[in-house]
Amino acid sequence: MGEKNTIILAAGKGSRMKSKLYKVLHQICGKSMVSHVLSQVTKLNMTQIVTVVGFGAADVEAELGNQTEYVVQDQQLGTGDAVLRAEDLLKDSDGTTLVISGDTPLFTAETLKKLFAYHEDKKATATILTSQAPNPTGYGRIVRNDLGIVEKIVEQKDANSEEKAIHEINTGVYVFDNQQLFKALHQINNQNAQGEYYLTDAIEVLKQQGGTIAAYKMDDFDESMGVNTRVAQAAATKVMQRRINEYHMNNGVTIINPDATYIDDGIEIGKDTIIETGVQLQNGTKIGNDCVIGANSKVSGSIIHDGVTVTSSNIENSEMMENSNIGPNSHLRPGSKIGKNVHIGNFCEVKQAEIGKGTKMGHLTYVGNAKLGKNINIGCGVIFANYDGKHKHETIVGDDTFIGSNANLIAPVKIADHSFIAAGSTITDDVQQYDMAIARTRQTNKTDYYQKLPFNGAE
């Protein structure tokens, strides 16, 4: 087949999205639509990939980086004009060129590979990727003759009532003989309802000149779903979610309720891990083997090692080591590293802190900007007071330390190994090894005080 090229059409503003964000940058399962397209295309070992940008060009280039070359369509003059912008970069190629839209995030590399193979097998000048649509409204229709040969593609706004009744639709994906593509594009006009240069008109030119026009009908219509509205974005997300969840289940992950589990593209999950209802696993997360991610937990940008249990908790940009557990209703904020066999109970918060192996905090504790050693027992309601109103300060706690309930550790402070903090203490000075620190006012009992009150319990 020779060289293979791709042109990604990503110049449309997407006004129907009603958004300040450039259309192709809207996300489906944690990745922009155009990134989904590019990731599938790159699996086919392309010689050149060219992305046509317009509105928001700088944002698209920032998103895709150097994975593709770029050309600009300054005015929105139609798909034919957009493809023509790539001519200077591709004019010397004697191979084939795939044209695909940046707002079609569900196409797979497998389908595109079949399209290329069909094009080659038919020795076609152009091959259209088609599908059977349950509701074809809005799509270009594939008009075939009695022998099944493609006669033309008719856009929705140019179609008559008979053509509108056709359910085989143009997915907007094509493979062309590269040289013939650009020759044809110089011969089309914009005499149509939209006043635009249609790429489909180039196919008509090629047909009239004796070229072979093929059409490969794909099996799964859902793949062809284009996203032009928020409603379509939600529908595409559902399809992608199902695809992602099925991938993980087929690789040994138990997902209790796939319809209510939200896993971003590219997440790694180990075997025999259980994902309960309402879980969100977001970009940059890696889950080990034999974990339990409990109902309504959210994990983003974090590494969860083998055997970890997360119960209805929120974990951001943090790491939990083997056999640790957290929750319910606790929060790891960015920069938290939880050691092996650590227990973090309910309503706890950890931020920018390291917690050593075997340490336990049962409930209602805040640990911020701290380094905690091994086998520490932290009572209920302990606060690591790390902020003086202007700067953050660090607390260091040694191994085998006991911190009693309702203690306040005022940073910066160091608590040595094998020391003891009495419940209710406010600690401002360092504590030495084997010391017990008590910092609370001496209790005073006022005799018969209750009886002197305006009320004394009498009716």
Name the catalytic one among 26, 343, 363, 418. Answer: 363
Q: Is 89 annotated as a binding residue?
A: no
Q: Is 333 annotated as a binding residue?
A: yes
Helix segments in 69-160, DSSP class H: 79-84, 87-90, 109-121
- 160 labelled binding-site residue: no
Closest C-alpha to 104, from 217, 166, 12, 203: 12
Neighbour tally for 414: CB within 10 Å:
17
The distance of Cα 116 from the centroid of its chain, to the nearest Å, equals 29
Residue 405 is given by DSSP the state T
Tell whether 101 is in a known binding site: yes
Distance CA 263, CA 230 (A): 19
Question: Binding residue per annotation — 117?
Answer: no
Annotated binding residue 377? yes
Q: From residue 155, give the alpha-carbon distance in Å to each of 129, 196, 201.
A: 15, 12, 10
386 is in an annotated binding site: yes
Phi, psi of 353 (to 5 degrees): -145, 150
Burial class (CB in 10 A: 0-12, 13-18, 19+), 430: middle
Q: Which of 105, 232, 104, 243 is nearest to 171 (CA)?
A: 104
The answer to whether 45 is annotated as binding is no
103 labeled binding residue: yes
Active site residue 26: no
Residue 11 is labelled as binding a ligand: yes
- Determine if residue 92 is labeled as part of a ligand binding site: no
Is 113 part of any known ligand binding site?
no
Q: Torsion angle, CA of 264/267/271/272, rounded to 10 degrees?
A: -40
Numbered residues of the known binding site for Mg(2+): 103, 228
Numbered residues of the known binding site for UDP-N-acetyl-alpha-D-glucosamine: 9-12, 23, 73, 78-79, 101-103, 140, 155, 170, 228, 333, 351, 366, 377
Numbered residues of the known binding site: 9-12, 23, 73, 78-79, 101-103, 140, 155, 170, 228, 333, 351, 366, 377, 386-387, 405, 423, 440
Catalytic positions: 363
